[in-house]
Amino acid sequence: MRIEISYKFIIGFIVVVVSGILVNLVVPYIKGIEPEFRQVFAIFCSLVVGLIIGSVFSRAFSDKIRRLTSAGDRIRQGDLSEDVVVVGSFPDETNDLAKAMNQFQASLRILVGDIRNIAFRVASSSQNLSGTSQEMSASAQEVARATDQITKGAETQAEMVEESTRLFKEVAVSIKLVASSAKTVADSADQTLETARSGNDMAGSSLDSIRQVLTEAENSGQQMVNFIAQLEKISTFVEVINGIAQKTNLLALNATIEAARAGEYGHGFAVVAEEIRKLADSTTTSADEITGLVESIRKEGQQVQTSMAQVIDEMESGREAADRTNQAFSDITQNAEGTRAKASSIAELAEQQISSAERINRAIDEIGRVVSDNAAATEQVSAATEEQSAAMEEMAQSTKELSNMSESMLQIVQQFKLVKEQEQD
């Protein structure tokens, strides 16, 4: 039966009052008690009854309150494992309170369980998140490294492109040098050609001159031969004159002999004969001189002939040399023409190469620009990656914090005991 506390207090009061009255009624019937003490006894008995009843009542009430208090204390300590039980013959508000506390404990238990589950899940999620964020951070670092490498690669590319550009410029300069050298060679070949042609002409004209001289020398040789033949004729004439002089001399001698034989008459004749003999002698002397002259002229003529033959020989060798010179100049001309053609083709090729090199240079410049763009883009990527990495770090930090928070929340939630010890295990 449910009796409210207020009623219990009223009942107790009534019981005390009733017991007082009863005692007052009973006391006069009790022997041994002086009448003057009856009042005091009655009060005493009433007080005793009131004390007993009050004590029992308040003890029961206190017990209930203590139980509630201990349950509240237990709940405060987080032990939600036991229900609040209030025993008593007559349920009252404490039982309601206990019931309410039990309901509160049950809902708290559910809440704590939910919180714990959620905290568990948050912890595991945060752990997962932490792992993921670490992975992401690692990936971001990986990406950062990759972009670093790409950046470095781009830098190397840029350097290489620069180097290539420089090299190609040098090559272009070299090609220009080659072209100018080839042009110079072509000009030289032209000059050589010109010189060789004039040399050829000169050799040809000298050859003509030599031929002319040779012809003239041959003519002179022929003239010399004719001259010597004429000299031979002179010699013949001189011989004839000599013979005539000899005959005259003989005639003079015989005339002298005849004149001597004629004696005084032949004297004049002898004188004449002597004169004739002298003439003949001087004729012979002159003829001898002529012979000597002719001889020396013939010798000189022969020497001249020999010299001329030598000259002709030398002229012949000179002609051969001039022929060879001519041939050499022809060869030089041919070679110079070949050289000029080759140099010209080299120059043309070099020109083509120059235009190709310029195109290549333009292409390399384009590549350089692309590489620069790439480098810039890569730097942007790098920066973004760094930002991402920083965000990742922050996220990891946050995740760690979250994890820590979930851990501490778990720890806090763990303080709640939801079931009994033996049940927990």
Partner 1 sequence: MTLILTYRLGNDLYGLEIDAIQEIIEDAELHHVPRATGVICGAINFHGQILAVIDLPTLLDFAVDKHDHRHLVLTSEHRSLVLKTSCVERIVNLEMESLEPPPADHDRPAVRGIIEFDESIINLLDTDEVIKQLEDIYAE
By CB under 8 A, name the binding residues for partner 1: 246-247, 250, 253-254, 256-257, 260-261, 274, 277
Q: How far apart are CA 119 and CA 406, in angstroms?
A: 6
Q: How far apart are CA 17 and CA 12, in angstroms?
A: 8
Tokens encoding 19: 């017991």
Q: How far apart are CA 290 and CA 233, in angstroms?
A: 12
Minimum distance from residue 248 beta carbon to partner 1 (Å): 12
Compute CA distances 379 → 66, 307, 373, whole Å: 74, 98, 10
Pick from 235, 245, 241, 243: nearest CA to 279 = 245
Minimum distance from residue 260 beta carbon to partner 1 (Å): 5
Pick from 132, 120, 145: nearest CA to 396 = 132
Under DSSP, is residue 262 helix (H, G, I), strand (E, B) or coil? coil
Minimum distance from residue 254 beta carbon to partner 1 (Å): 6
C-beta closer to partner 1: residue 80 or 255? 255
Minimum distance from residue 240 beta carbon to partner 1 (Å): 15
C-beta closer to partner 1: residue 255 or 409? 255
Pick from 44, 40, 102: nearest CA to 75 = 102
C-beta closer to partner 1: residue 190 or 274? 274
C-beta closer to partner 1: residue 256 or 378? 256
Whether residue 94 contacts residue 68, with contact meaning beta carbons closer than 8 Å, is answered with: yes
Compute CA distances 398 → 108, 162, 282, 393, 403, whole Å: 30, 46, 159, 8, 8
What totals of helices (H) and strands (E) does the chain contain, helices first?
Answer: 5, 0
Minimum distance from residue 313 beta carbon to partner 1 (Å): 41
Q: How far apart are CA 272 and CA 255, in angstroms?
A: 9
Question: Residue 218's CB: how many other CB atoms inside 10 A?
Answer: 13
Q: Within a 13 Å sphere around the CA of 174, how many CA atoms are in the beta-carbon half?
A: 7
C-beta closer to partner 1: residue 277 or 319? 277
C-beta closer to partner 1: residue 17 or 257? 257
Tokens encoding 40: 């005091």
Minimum distance from residue 255 beta carbon to partner 1 (Å): 10
C-beta closer to partner 1: residue 279 or 321? 279
Amino acid letter, 344? S
Tokens encoding 292: 């000597």
| Torsion angle, alpha carbons of 222, 227, 233, 237, to 10 | 180
What are residue 79's DSSP bridge partners? 417
Minimum distance from residue 278 beta carbon to partner 1 (Å): 10
Minimum distance from residue 247 beta carbon to partner 1 (Å): 7
C-beta closer to partner 1: residue 30 or 260? 260
C-beta closer to partner 1: residue 10 or 260? 260
Minimum distance from residue 209 beta carbon to partner 1 (Å): 54
Minimum distance from residue 270 beta carbon to partner 1 (Å): 8
C-beta closer to partner 1: residue 264 or 425? 264
User: What is the 3-class SS of 277-299, one letter each residue?
Assistant: HHHHHHHHHHHHHHHHHHHHHHH
